[in-house]
Amino acid sequence: MRYLRNLLPLVIAVGVLNLLIEDRTVLRVLVLTLVWAIGGLAWNLLAKAGQISLGHGAFTGVGAYTFVLLMDNYGLNPWLGTLVAMVLAAIAAVIIGIPTFRLQGFYFTLATMAYPLILMLIVINWGYPEMTVAFHPEAPGAYMQWYEPQMFVWLLLVMLVGTLAFTLWVDGGRVGQALRAIRDNEVLARSIGIRSDRWKLFALATSAAISAALGVVWVNAVLLVVSAEEVFGIGVVILMLSVTFVGGIGRTWGPVLGAVVLVPLSQVLTFSIGDRVPGSETLIYGVALVLAALLAPAGLIVWLDRLRARVPWLRGPSADQELSMLADSGYGDLPAQREAVGTDGLLLRVDGVTKSFAGLTVLEDVSFSIERGARVGVIGPNGAGKTTLFNVLSGHLRQNAGTVTMNGEDISRLNAPQRFQNGLSRTFQHPQGFQRMTVLENIAVAAIGCGIGGDPYRAAGDVLEAVGLADKRAAVVTALTTYELKLLELARALVAQPYLLLVDEPLAGLNEAERKDYFAIFGRVVPEDTAVLVIEHSVRSLLEHVDTLIALDHGQVIAHGDPGDVVADPKIIEAYLGTKWSKQGADTAQTGED
C-alpha cells in the first residue's frame, strides 16, 4: 500500500502524457526517458552497495541477443525470451561477480569494463555482429512489435513501476540496510555479520536481470536491429551512470529524476543541432556529469529534498518518527537471548597460529587459551602483531597455520560474519561507524546481523541506554566525539551478546576523565560471563581491569599469566615497558604510548 501511494503520482503523470501526446517524435522521447530511468534504477541497485560498474552493457547485450537468437532459432516470442534473458543475465552476473568482487573500488570498476567487450567480441566472431528482428505484423502484441509507440510507453511504465517497487522494497528493509552498510564500510559490515559477498552478488544479479529485460524492450521499442556494438556498447552504461549520477546516486528516485531532466534535454539538442554537431547527444551526458560533479555532487534530488523540507504537506516524517516507524516495522517483541553454553570452562583456544604477509611473519606459532568470562589484556610494542592477532581471531584475516577453537568448535575456517554470528564481537583500533546511518541504526544493523532474532531496534535502544548514548540515537555518527564513538563501538559489539569480546585500544585518543568513565561503563555493561580480550598501551589502566596478561613481541607470545608477574618479567621490561617502568613501578608508570 505504501509503495502504491508513492508510485501513483508517477503512473498518473506518465499515463496522462501518453494519452495526450500524439506526435511520434515526442512519444519517442517519452519512451527513451522511461528506458533510461529503468536502466538507471537497475544500475543504481549495485551502486547502493558502493560498487560502480562500467560493464552493464554486458547485461543489456545478453538480453538483446538471447531474445533475438531464441526468436530466430526456436520461434520463441520476446515475452518468454525476456524471462530466459533475465535468468541468463543473473547467472552471468554471478559468474562475473564472484571473481570481480575480489577487487576493491577503482580496480573493480575497471575490471567490469572488460565483460561487455569480451561478450561483444564473442558474438561478432560467432558471426552475429548485427541481427535484424524478424517482423511479425500478424501478431504485434505477441511479438512486442506494436506500431503505436503508446503501447511501448505502457509496457515501459509497467517495468518502471515494477523496478521502482523493487527498489523501494530494497531501500526500506534489511536488504537496503545491508547494502548501505557495505557501501559505507565493508570491513565493518562484515564484522557485524553482513555477508557482503552474498549481498553484492544479489545486487549485481537483480541489476543484471532488470538490465537484460530492458535490453529486450529497448531493441523492440527503439533500435529494431540488434547490433553488438550498440547493445554491448559503453553508451549503455554512460546513460545509466549519467542519469543516476545527475539525479542522485544510491537514492531511490535519483535515476528517475536524472532521466526526466537529461533524456529530453539530449533529444532536444540532437534535434536542434545534431546535424551540425555530430555526437551532440553523448556530449550532453558528458557536460551534465561534469556540471553535476561541480554543482550538485549528491544529485538534483538534494534540491528536491530541500524543497520538500520547506513545504509542510510534502515534508516526510521527522528522524524520530522514522525511527519509531522502523521500530514498529514487524520485528519480534523482545530482544532474543543468545543460547547459553555454560558459565564456566574453556571458551577460546588458539593453537600454533602463524600469519605472514608476503614473506613477513607477523604472528609466529601463537598459542593460548581463555576461560569463559576471563578478562585478558594484550600488550606489546608497536608492530608486535596485536591487531593482526585480533584480525585472525575475528576472521578478517585467514591464518597461514594453526587453529582457533571457540566453545569447542573449530572456527578457523569461518569468515568474519559467521564468527560474529557465533558470538565473537570486536571493536576497532580506529573507531568505525556507518556514516550515513543514525546511531540507533548503526547498532540495529548489528543486532540484525548477529542473527539471534528479536526486535533489533529495541535491542539497539536498550544497549544504547546502557552505555549512555540514548540521547544520541537519532544523531549521525559523524556528529559523535571520539569518546562517544568508542561507546558506540562497545554498544555495537555487545548487542550481539557475545561470548568473546575483542577490544582494540579502547583508551587511545581519550583524556583522563573519559578513560575513567569508559572503564566504569565497560565494567557495568559487559556481562560477567563474557570473556574480554583487550589490547591497550596504557598498561597502568589495563592492570586495574584484567586478570591475565599476554605479551607479544615480534609476533610471538613472550609472556602469559598473572598481570603482576608479566609486568615484572625482565623480558617484558626490555621489549616493551622500558626501564622507566621498573624504576617507577606499576602504580605510576605508563608506556610511551600513553
Ligand X SMILES: Nc1ncnc2c1ncn2[C@@H]1O[C@H](COP(=O)(O)OP(=O)(O)OP(=O)(O)O)[C@@H](O)[C@H]1O
Minimum distance from residue 500 beta carbon to ligand X (Å): 18
Nearer to ligand X, 429 or 582 (CB): 429
- Count of residues interacting with ligand X (CB under 6 A): 11
For the chain, how many residues are written?
A: 594
Q: Kindly state whether residue 380 participates in binding ligand X, applying the rule CB under 6 A.
A: yes
Query: Which positions ≥6 away from 554 have C-beta within 8 Å?
Result: 364, 384, 385
Q: Kindly state whether residue 592 participates in binding ligand X, applying the rule CB under 6 A.
A: no
Q: Kindly state whether residue 398 participates in binding ligand X, applying the rule CB under 6 A.
A: no
| Alpha helix segments (H runs only) across 101-185 | 105-112, 114-125, 149-172, 174-184
Give DSSP secondary structure letters for 477-539: GGGS-HHHHHHHHHHHHHTT--SEEEEE-TTTT--HHHHHHHHHHHHHHS-TTSEEEEE-S-H
Q: Which stretch binds ligand X (CB under 6 A): 121-129, 205-213, 262-270, 377-385?
A: 377-385
Q: Kindly state whether residue 386 participates in binding ligand X, applying the rule CB under 6 A.
A: yes
DSSP character for 476?
A: B
Q: Which stretch binds ligand X (CB under 6 A): 147-155, 284-292, 330-338, 380-388?
A: 380-388
Q: Kindly state whether residue 382 participates in binding ligand X, applying the rule CB under 6 A.
A: yes
Q: Using CA atoms, how far apart are residues 277 and 174, in angstroms rounded to an integer?
A: 48
Minimum distance from residue 389 beta carbon to ligand X (Å): 7
Among 383, 408, 523, 564, binds ligand X (CB under 6 A): 383
Distances (CA, A) of 325 to 169, 181, 364, 576: 15, 20, 51, 52
Q: Are 349 and 404 in contact (CB under 8 A)?
A: yes
Q: Kindly state whether residue 384 participates in binding ligand X, applying the rule CB under 6 A.
A: yes
Of residues 347-376, those binding ligand X (CB under 6 A):
357, 362
Please give the grid coordinates belonging to residue 429: 583500533
Minimum distance from residue 313 beta carbon to ligand X (Å): 53
Q: Kindly state whether residue 40 participates in binding ligand X, applying the rule CB under 6 A.
A: no
> What is the separation, in whole angstroms, between the first and last Cα of the chain?
57
Minimum distance from residue 392 beta carbon to ligand X (Å): 10
C-alpha count within 13 angstroms, C-beta hemisphere, residue 460: 28
Q: Which stretch binds ligand X (CB under 6 A): 301-309, 369-377, 382-390, 584-592?
A: 382-390
Specify the pairing of strand 531-535 against strand 500-504: parallel
Q: Kindly state whether residue 183 participates in binding ligand X, applying the rule CB under 6 A.
A: no
Q: Kindly state whether residue 125 participates in binding ligand X, applying the rule CB under 6 A.
A: no
Q: Are 142 and 220 in contact (CB under 8 A)?
A: no
Nearer to ligand X, 6 or 429 (CB): 429
Burial class of residue 582 (count of CB atoms within 10 Å of its CB; 0-12, 13-18, 19+): middle
Q: Using CA atoms, how far apart are residues 252 and 45, in angstroms rounded to an integer?
A: 9
Q: Which stretch binds ligand X (CB under 6 A): 181-189, 270-278, 285-293, 384-392?
A: 384-392
Nearer to ligand X, 386 or 515 (CB): 386
Q: Which stretch binds ligand X (CB under 6 A): 3-11, 115-123, 379-387, 431-439?
A: 379-387
Q: Using CA atoms, how far apart are residues 209 and 60, in angstroms rounded to an integer?
A: 9
The amino acid present at 481, given as its one-letter code, is: T
Q: Kindly state whether residue 378 participates in binding ligand X, applying the rule CB under 6 A.
A: no
DSSP 3-state assignment of 10? helix
Nearer to ligand X, 271 or 357 (CB): 357
The amino acid present at 128, given as its one-letter code, is: Y
Q: Using CA atoms, how far apart are residues 444 and 537, in angstroms rounded to an integer?
A: 31
Among 40, 385, 498, 506, binds ligand X (CB under 6 A): 385
Nearer to ligand X, 303 or 368 (CB): 368
Q: Kindly state whether residue 388 participates in binding ligand X, applying the rule CB under 6 A.
A: yes
Q: Kindly state whether residue 200 participates in binding ligand X, applying the rule CB under 6 A.
A: no
Nearer to ligand X, 362 or 490 (CB): 362
Q: Kindly state whether residue 431 participates in binding ligand X, applying the rule CB under 6 A.
A: no
Binding site for ligand X (CB under 6 A): 357, 362, 380, 382-388, 429
